[in-house]
A and B are shown apart, each in its own frame.
Chain A
Amino acid sequence: MSPAAAAATAARATTTTAAETHGFLSPTGVEIAFLLVGLVTFGAAVVTVTTKQLVHAALWLVVALGGLAVEYLLLTAEFIAWVQVLIYVGSVVVLLLFGLMLTRAPIGRSPDADSGNRWVALAVAVAAAAALVWVVVDAFRTTWIDLDGAAAGSTAVTGASLFQSWVLPFEALSVLLLAALVGAIVLSRRTKAKATATPSPPGPPRPPGPRSDVPRSDKEGAR
């Protein structure tokens, strides 16, 4: 985490010198809030990918995704923020927790949570981060978002654009979700021999159950 953080600070240092009109040293309140929440989000994300406790990873993921929802709010994209909370925090993470349980993931610290590929992965990630941050900062260090005025992502605005300009992709997406629903059911069905051996009734929750909930809730959330 430290090299990534160092890269981040280095990136901030480069922005400082360049920002003239809206000096970096005189940040607005929104910026400070964004920065703080961003730090929390980033920290939670880093913990998510490094913790040795699998369930904790899922919980830290909630923090990271929730932090992102706050960032969306700060960017005045309120609709997206609530969708984020509903779908990611509400269902995806729950689904991941179910997945962890169904695959009998160990509770507590598991020493082999990271594979032997860790150092290569770290090197690649740091190199990618350095390249990306360098490019992004170099390109957008003076760009300013004007957050005053009407919210850019209010429900009315989003709904209008979605159902005026984006109706066809939206419907196509619903078909995709249906296909994903069917696919998930087919994939998680047990083989026929096992299906006859353990008939459907009570038992443990069948895998398709929670999974088939998801796309539906997605759809509802999207609408």
Chain B
Amino acid sequence: MTTTTLAVLVPLLPFLGAAAGLFLGRSAAGFVRPLAVLPSLAALALAVAVAVRQGGGRAVDAATELTPTGSVPVELALHIDGFAALAAVLVGLVATCVQIYSTGYLRDDPRYPSYAALVSLFTSAMLLVVYSGDLMVLLVGWEVMGICSYFLVGHYWETPEARAASIKAFLVTKLGDVPFLIGLFALAADTGSFRITKVLGTVASGGLDHPTLIALLLLAGVAGKSAQFPLHTWLPDAMAGPTPVSALIHAATMVAAGVYFIARLLPVFAASAAALVVLAVLAAVTMAGSALAALAQDDIKRVLAYSTIGQLGYMTGALAVGDRGAAVFHLLAHGAFKALLFLAAGVIIHAAGTNSLAAMSRMKDLRARVPDAYWTMTVALLALAAIPPFSGFFSKEAVLGAAEHAATGHAEHVPGAAGWIVLVSGLVTALLTAAYATRLWLLAFRGHGTEAPDHGRQPVAMNSVLWVLALPSLVFGLATGVLPDWFDGRDLTPTLATAVLGTGVALVGGIVTYGAWRHTTALSGRFPMGAVAAHPGADGGLVEAEAIASHEPAYGSAASAPDPADPGRLLLGPLHRHAAVGFHLDAVYTTLLVRPVRGAAALVRFLDREVVDTYVRGAGALPRWLGTAVRRAQTGNVQTYVSALFAGTVVLVVAVLLVATAGA
């Protein structure tokens, strides 16, 4: 089979799996699990094959035009370069792991068939985005991912949090998608094609008329999808979905789609210095703010969600300094270890019966209950904190190195200001990242107090994938030397200055947090708190749903808990209150957008009900009165009808006669 055929099969197989799962889900329950896992596995294998064949060499391009579509043709096109090949492998790997994990995590869930089918559909859409060489086809996958995200976040739709979160995720990403669509049209109008190769060719020859406008419009969609400031608020709330969904969609793949999109079209963005500076500022604000917010969260998954936003900020930062190799490198490394973090967090939530770090910090020996999750999560957290020699260190150093490269003015087309912004904020964020990673680890695994509840052994399906994902976190750093062949060829090895600086601040962050934890941990015994799910024997999905639903009643907020033993509270000081609620961005949105819209809706409703309807009612009153009068004549008595008929006839006849005789 040619590489093209293989590449076409990669998105097609999960799609067929999803269709089969949706149609057979109810009638043939035995096929649901194979139908969920096998297509993803096959897609992974094919993606690896495609990557091996492509091998970082010339990009594979293939296109077919199904039907003429007007002035700008829309084609079914493939464009597989090194980025696409490797990103597809990541997507296939994480999707396969998540599917296997879900068979254990949601083993008793009655809605598992539709869930698995939606995950398959999502995988297919993401692979389509990755491989597509046509922006319109890419947009199809982009939007299919959005709707899958909506359904999967709302998987526990019995809980109000999940319902609200799914709608919020959908609306906020759509808010970005509208300018995104306009940006795509503007891009096509300027370049005359939706094909990525042609677009890039036109950009290279300087044929782009409105680079800043297009870049900023596209940036809105990217910010929505990749959860960048100011459209990031949906991601922490999206943690109301099942943990595997969070791992797949909201950590490893969908949120990376935005970054991946910029990486593909980086020359378009690089054509506008203003767009790069805006991107750098957004990345800096996103990074630092999300890291602070992560330090204040109580829900373990929300910590990871804010961490995801921050790491995506690193990627956009790398793009802002014009190094897409570093960005995609971090995307790949982060995708692996963040998926691992989420899946391990799912195991922990299942074992502890709660998603609250405050409650976990009051449990003794939780790590002994979940040894696999303990070890793999430790690896992943070290990678997250960018401690050498784990993968996160190399990818993050690549980003910082690129930023330093730009800041010192060595990068073409990239303003030095962007470099400095990304570099400084990246270092600050490295400190904070290490701090919240340490806090998470300490609170989850170093608790004091009562024995952790026994929820039985975790399913093998869940534990095994943790180790599968731990492997890239451990050894992906070795790929640093090989990856430039696949990417733009720019060197990704860490430079000494940023490596020492970055590792140094990370160590400082970890040590400071440890000190704060030593200071506050004694308090945990004095302030007992915590709520544990009521069904120890249930599968992970049910436990998590109960944990999410009970967090707000138990702790007063979905995000934070009033826990004096929390080291984050000590570290952040007065900032903690604001960081816990994401720096009041939701409140700002409520004031700026939601209230005016609601007010306008109320006004419209008032106008419709009281003003328009008054006219309508007034217009209706006269016919109604007439109708009432006429209705009185409808006695049902045939004789009265005939009487009236004859009386009328006589009157008419007499009238006609009078007229006739008068005329004569």
Q: Do A and B come from one complex?
A: yes
Cross-chain contact A124 with B650 (CB below 8 angstroms) = yes
Cross-chain contact B657 with A117 (CB below 8 angstroms) = no
* Residue B654 lies at the interface, judged by CB distance under 8 Å to chain A: yes
Chain A residue nearest to B647 in the complex (CB): A124
Would you give the 0/1 interface string for A106-125, flagging 1 where the beta carbon is closer than 8 Å to chain B? 00000000010100110110
* Residue A162 lies at the interface, judged by CB distance under 8 Å to chain B: no
- Inter-chain CA distance A102–B640, complex, in Å, is 27
* Residue A32 lies at the interface, judged by CB distance under 8 Å to chain B: no
Would you give the 0/1 interface string for B297-315, flagging 1 where the beta carbon is closer than 8 Å to chain A? 0000000000000000000
Cross-chain contact B650 with A117 (CB below 8 angstroms) = no
Cross-chain contact A127 with B639 (CB below 8 angstroms) = no
Shortest distance in angstroms between B663's beta carbon and chain A's nearest beta carbon? 15
- Inter-chain CA distance A117–B657, complex, in Å, is 28
* Residue B637 lies at the interface, judged by CB distance under 8 Å to chain A: yes
* Residue B653 lies at the interface, judged by CB distance under 8 Å to chain A: yes
| A131-B653, A135-B657 as given contacts; A117 in contact with B640, CB under 8 Å | yes
* Residue B589 lies at the interface, judged by CB distance under 8 Å to chain A: no
* Residue A30 lies at the interface, judged by CB distance under 8 Å to chain B: no
Which of the listed residues B649, B650, B653, B654 has the most CB atoms from chain A within 10 Å of its own CB?
B650
Cross-chain contact A120 with B640 (CB below 8 angstroms) = yes
Which of the listed residues A120, A123, A124 has the most CB atoms from chain B within 10 Å of its own CB?
A124
* Residue A35 lies at the interface, judged by CB distance under 8 Å to chain B: no
User: Chain B contacts of A131 at CB under 8 A?
Assistant: 650, 653-654, 657
* Residue A176 lies at the interface, judged by CB distance under 8 Å to chain B: no
Cross-chain contact B646 with A124 (CB below 8 angstroms) = yes
Chain A residue nearest to B657 in the complex (CB): A135
Cross-chain contact A117 with B643 (CB below 8 angstroms) = yes
| A127-B650, A128-B650, A131-B650 as given contacts; A121 in contact with B643, CB under 8 Å | yes
Chain A residue nearest to B654 in the complex (CB): A131
Shortest distance in angstroms between B609's beta carbon and chain A's nearest beta carbon? 47
Shortest distance in angstroms between B386's beta carbon and chain A's nearest beta carbon? 91
The tally of residues in B whose CB lies under 8 Å from a CB in A reads 11
| A124-B643, A124-B646, A128-B646 as given contacts; A117 in contact with B637, CB under 8 Å | yes
User: Chain B contacts of A123 at CB under 8 A?
Assistant: 647
- Inter-chain CA distance A124–B645, complex, in Å, is 10
Interface SS of chain A: helix
User: Chain B contacts of A121 at CB under 8 A?
Assistant: 639, 643
Quick one: which of B632-664 are within 8 Å of A by CB?
Answer: 637, 639-640, 643, 646-647, 649-650, 653-654, 657
- Inter-chain CA distance A131–B650, complex, in Å, is 7
Quick one: which of A97-148 are within 8 Å of B by CB?
Answer: 115, 117, 120-121, 123-124, 127-128, 131, 135
- Inter-chain CA distance A144–B475, complex, in Å, is 130
- Inter-chain CA distance A120–B647, complex, in Å, is 9
Quick one: which of A162-196 are within 8 Å of B by CB?
Answer: none
- Inter-chain CA distance A124–B637, complex, in Å, is 16
- Inter-chain CA distance A121–B644, complex, in Å, is 9
Cross-chain contact B643 with A120 (CB below 8 angstroms) = yes
User: Chain B contacts of A135 at CB under 8 A?
Assistant: 653, 657
Cross-chain contact A117 with B653 (CB below 8 angstroms) = no
User: Chain A contacts of B653 at CB under 8 A?
Assistant: 131, 135
- Inter-chain CA distance A199–B647, complex, in Å, is 49
Shortest distance in angstroms between B639's beta carbon and chain A's nearest beta carbon? 5
User: Chain B contacts of A124 at CB under 8 A?
Assistant: 643, 646-647, 650
Chain A residue nearest to B639 in the complex (CB): A117
- Inter-chain CA distance A131–B649, complex, in Å, is 11
Chain A residue nearest to B651 in the complex (CB): A127
Shortest distance in angstroms between B212's beta carbon and chain A's nearest beta carbon? 86
User: Chain B contacts of A117 at CB under 8 A?
Assistant: 637, 639-640, 643
Shortest distance in angstroms between B14's beta carbon and chain A's nearest beta carbon? 64
Shortest distance in angstroms between B483's beta carbon and chain A's nearest beta carbon? 89
Shortest distance in angstroms between A127's beta carbon and chain B's nearest beta carbon? 5
- Inter-chain CA distance A117–B654, complex, in Å, is 23
Cross-chain contact B637 with A127 (CB below 8 angstroms) = no
Contact of A115 among B639, B650, B657 (CB under 8 A): B639
Shortest distance in angstroms between B645's beta carbon and chain A's nearest beta carbon? 9
| A117-B637, A135-B657 as given contacts; A127 in contact with B643, CB under 8 Å | no
Chain A residue nearest to B653 in the complex (CB): A131
Cross-chain contact A127 with B657 (CB below 8 angstroms) = no
User: Chain A contacts of B639 at CB under 8 A?
Assistant: 115, 117, 121
User: Chain A contacts of B650 at CB under 8 A?
Assistant: 124, 127-128, 131
Chain B residue nearest to A123 in the complex (CB): B647
Cross-chain contact A127 with B647 (CB below 8 angstroms) = yes
- Inter-chain CA distance A115–B657, complex, in Å, is 32
Shortest distance in angstroms between A166's beta carbon and chain B's nearest beta carbon? 30
- Inter-chain CA distance A127–B646, complex, in Å, is 10
User: Chain A contacts of B646 at CB under 8 A?
Assistant: 124, 128
- Inter-chain CA distance A124–B657, complex, in Å, is 18
Chain B residue nearest to A116 in the complex (CB): B637
Shortest distance in angstroms between A23's beta carbon and chain B's nearest beta carbon? 26
Shortest distance in angstroms between A190's beta carbon and chain B's nearest beta carbon? 25
Chain A residue nearest to B649 in the complex (CB): A128
Quick one: which of B609-630 are within 8 Å of A by CB?
Answer: none
Shortest distance in angstroms between A49's beta carbon and chain B's nearest beta carbon? 13
Chain A residue nearest to B661 in the complex (CB): A138
User: Chain B contacts of A120 at CB under 8 A?
Assistant: 640, 643, 647
Chain A residue nearest to B638 in the complex (CB): A117
Quick one: which of A14-68 are within 8 Å of B by CB?
Answer: none
Would you give the 0/1 interface string for B204-247, flagging 1 where the beta carbon is closer than 8 Å to chain A? 00000000000000000000000000000000000000000000
Shortest distance in angstroms between A161's beta carbon and chain B's nearest beta carbon? 32
Shortest distance in angstroms between B401's beta carbon and chain A's nearest beta carbon? 97
Shortest distance in angstroms between A20's beta carbon and chain B's nearest beta carbon? 22
27 contacts across the A-B interface (CB closer than 8 A): A115-B637, A115-B639, A117-B637, A117-B639, A117-B640, A117-B643, A120-B640, A120-B643, A120-B647, A121-B639, A121-B643, A123-B647, A124-B643, A124-B646, A124-B647, A124-B650, A127-B647, A127-B650, A128-B646, A128-B649, A128-B650, A131-B650, A131-B653, A131-B654, A131-B657, A135-B653, A135-B657
| Given A121-B639, A121-B643, A135-B653, 8 further pairs, Cβ under 8 A | A115-B637, A115-B639, A117-B637, A117-B640, A120-B643, A123-B647, A127-B647, A128-B650
Q: Which residues of A contact B (CB under 8 A)?
A: 115, 117, 120-121, 123-124, 127-128, 131, 135
Q: Which residues of B contact A (CB under 8 A)?
A: 637, 639-640, 643, 646-647, 649-650, 653-654, 657
The 4 closest A-B pairs by CB, nearest first: A117-B639, A120-B643, A124-B647, A124-B646
